[in-house]
Structure 1
């Protein structure tokens, strides 16, 4: 359905008053910039309307409300004055009510009111009808002082860059929404998956809310994923009360093909009734959900991350140790651009798997006896006695590949974990960081989409001897002590489980 007017901008008059004499106000500049960027994205000039004759003492104008039936989208500029204005609140309510009489308030699960937060206001003070709508935050918070600074074209290079990035995000989302209205109504039903520009159903990715120091990273990754056609969840404001938050997270995760969590130096907001931050809660819920439903996950820690909060230090230490919150996840540390590549490679790999299964479903042979012998390149010669023993006892032995790009090697490793009957980590000359990394993969195996549990997981401790090897033990896998030679009876006992 098409509307004569694309956008109505709802705002409080005082928020368009300029601090600098003879300079346009924030709302006027926002209107101008949005008009130009949307025209570039849509290929036509958008019809944007706002009442620029507003005065603080104006009474509510029924003539404005009468126009709402002709408007596709409202943009609400949230500020302290806006949420205190009876006029502004009534505009939201009236647009919401009018939308129910035509195509509804949501289309493809997206609200027809876009919330631009110019100045932070507590969520409970937002207009009730849009309290659950995600906002576009046109401000940032100084990590040192906690002071909020509005994004503007007039406050310096860095603030100006962030302003244009945020406006570009908003323009892309509005452009996509307006284009979706031109699709047949059945294709944009709120009960169906979101539709991409080419008319295809969009896969959904859960991109967890993050602390404010990683918000720019999250926005950048969100922008990248949307550019590849993915629909980002959560697409509504997460509750800041423990019980409804958990319910909302499970609902979101049930729709997603991948879960992504970004960690930083700050711990994040602690919801009402909770003991942990929203960042840690999201990860805990996703870990439990992944263990039960095999949804793959990524956890990213930026390079050079040095948290000062004891709670955040403890949280990251638990993840690094692989004991809590890591189920189904790859823990990635490095630059954001490298992380983006890893995520996109994973999503592309998942699409290929789905396509392969649709074209020719893979038959899982439960009678096969494949053992994945995981080793480091430095131990390729040392594994020969164990490899020969397994083969002589009737087992096919698969070892890792060591040549090719990092993404391909990782993909082969995951595929081996998915299809083998059992897995053994061979620990000889490699260092303990390598061992810890491979052991964590055992914890993530459900998230890789494995069809059935491994018959056994084992760590084979081979010479050279060391104090740390003698003391090594774990509850996550069987430990095979081969420091004094090949333990045939122990191996045969394990093999009997296949």
Structure 2
């Protein structure tokens, strides 16, 4: 496959045009005219001319590809470096395995974060939203036709480009809007964020086309937290093995998130529509799983906005989330059903995941373990006991990092925050300090990534020291596992000895969840 790279070496933004060869055929009676794609490509680059050398460039294959052909290195590189994938959507594009492969390759190089913003749809002919690949669902794009809603009218859709030339002024309006969009949205070079894996897997059900925006936001948020998302956001669920594919994705997940609009999605052969099918399979896993180990989180927005016409007039209607769920599946006792706005639902999901952090197993090291740094956090009034605790830990060859307690407040905060970032594990000493102080420090340990760390703590512990008390004896009830992994009650021991602290000797490189 040859590639047309305009202004190679001077381009700021590259646009890879994915299209079917049949959509670029000139009319047989006027072979001198251009096909739809060639004319569009030339017209876009003409609109870019006024930008001077800082103009976007286009990529386009220029020779026919047989089914046995492989991607050339040039095409692979073009898809990898392009800022946009411009999809000329039509029945011909949908039928082309090669076009689908271009979409999948682009997604592999650029997904999942912000991927949809880099895919631009040019509608040549109408394709039902639910029949499009998932990455193209929910995108209105730029239409170069008017939909004919009359099923008895054999004329079909009115295309703005016909027989090698534009025949409607709306073609030029759409072209200018498309060119302006590509220029305005062209990304500037930035460093891609690297998210530390959280070790957690979340099932996010593939939505119908009317919930695509919410799906993208949820996937972006969870990916940003380092969570693994299944099914893979870049891939569609295969229709020929949909049940097995869904069950395989659910097998590794700790919760399932479902987004419910008005549509049920495409239906695999002899199966429920996709939205209902995924709810059904996650319900099956819920019933088979041990109590408290798996459940569904469902967003059915209570305010639903619909478009009234092509002029973007909209109407709102109120929905009861439980009634919406009832249209798709039976409610389970363990379901978490929310109907607030998308932003509030995202906040709910983030908080909910923090509350259900699974227990982590701590593997102990032999007593000669070295190079393990523990941040021993304590309040001013507990300094004496904390120093004794540090000495006991050193007998197990553990490096106890003590907080700074004297100095300007800003410097103290900066220094102690740095200790939290660099330590392997953290121990909160609870002697004479108030319960509220200790619990506040424990709560701050819930979200390790928010502290600026690149990895989870080996463990987070509370050591309950003298004086004894009922609240300290109930320490395991005060600190949820999302905050504290180990509670050691030695409140009846005036002097902390090394043998009392062996449970705090962590494994180097222990697997954390």
More helix by share: 1
Fold shared by both chains (TM-score > 0.5): no
Relative to the length of structure 2, the TM-score reads 0.40
Q: Which structure has the larger Rg?
A: 2
